[in-house]
Amino acid sequence: MPDDLERAKIRNLDEQVRRAFHTRPLAYRAGRYGAGPNAMQCLRELGIGIDTSVRALFDYSHEQGPDYSHSSLYPYWIYPGELAELPLTTVFAGALRKDGPRLFQKSLSRLLPRSLMARSRLLERVALTPEGIPVERALEAIDIALDMGLPLLNFSFHTPSLAVGHTPYVRNERDLETFYTWWTSVFAHLRARGVEPTTVTEISNAAFSVA
């Protein structure tokens, strides 16, 4: 969207959060991961220190959105000491996962070959989300991410999925039960792997204490 409109939307959101919760927001995520080219500068001006809009390994350019296919999976500074990026965690799984970045974008640009590669367990892109990702795949992706040494696992889902009938992922009570069971299994696996939960406040304090 135009720079002026995007800035107005972000500033309005910041104002609404401050007014409703009597505190300043610490982090931001663009709707549909669609952060515009000027969004980061706007966050910097507002003093928001963390962005989580980047969905690593995904490309939305065909929808006139950003291309995150080559973005880092690791947290990084957008503006050192001022604005950090915590990308949503996505990994490649399968026998060919080391060649994932090259194969997925060039050779597997269509849905059918991607599906065939995933079904054959050769190469699959797995995001840490209960929406469309079976729990078995998610647990495997967690192990891959930890083996890669990722210091932070960033999960995501649409909040309307917490109730029936608002998203295609939770259409009935059975889907809702599956949704919550997914999280139960994931939390148990994280606990077994020694992964500790954290908060945006703790991450912010830790990041800016060493910046």
Q: Residue 141 pLDDT > 90, yes or no? A: yes
Task: Quote the number of domains for the chain.
Answer: 2
In DSSP notation, 2-59 reads -HHHHHHHHHHHHHHHHHHHSS---EE--GGG---TTHHHHHHHHT--EE---BTT-B
Where does the pLDDT of residue 131 fall: very low under 50, low under 70, confident under 90, or very high at 90 and above? very high
d(CA 138, CA 115): 17
Residue type at position 126 = V
Q: How far apart are CA 187 and CA 200, in angstroms?
A: 18
What is the domain range of residue 148? 90-192
pLDDT recorded at residue 12: 97
Q: Are residues 135 and 57 in the same domain?
A: no
Residue 63, token pair as written in the block: 């929808």
Strand 90-93 relative to strand 50-51, pairing: unpaired
Does residue 206 belong to any structural domain of this protein?
Answer: no
Are 185 and 116 in a shared domain?
yes
Asked if residue 73 belongs to a domain, the reply is yes
Answer yes or no: is 41 within a domain.
yes
* Residue 209 within a domain: no
Residues 29 and 96 in one domain: no
Please state the rounded mean pLDDT for residues 173-185: 98
Residues 56 and 138 in one domain: no
Classify residue 149: in a domain, yes or no. yes
The reported pTM is 0.90
Q: Average pLDDT, whole number, for the chain?
A: 93
pLDDT of residue 120: 82
Q: Is the pLDDT of residue 178 over 90?
A: yes
What digits encode the pLDDT tens for the residues 31-42? Answer: 989 998 899 999
CA-closest candidate to residue 79, choices 36, 34, 42, 24:
42
Residue predicted with more confidence, 107 or 65: 65
pLDDT band at 108 (very low <50, low <70, confident <90, very high): low
> Are 135 and 116 in a shared domain?
yes
Interval 16-26 mean pLDDT: 96
Cβ-based neighbours of 21, under 8 Å, separated by 6 or more = none
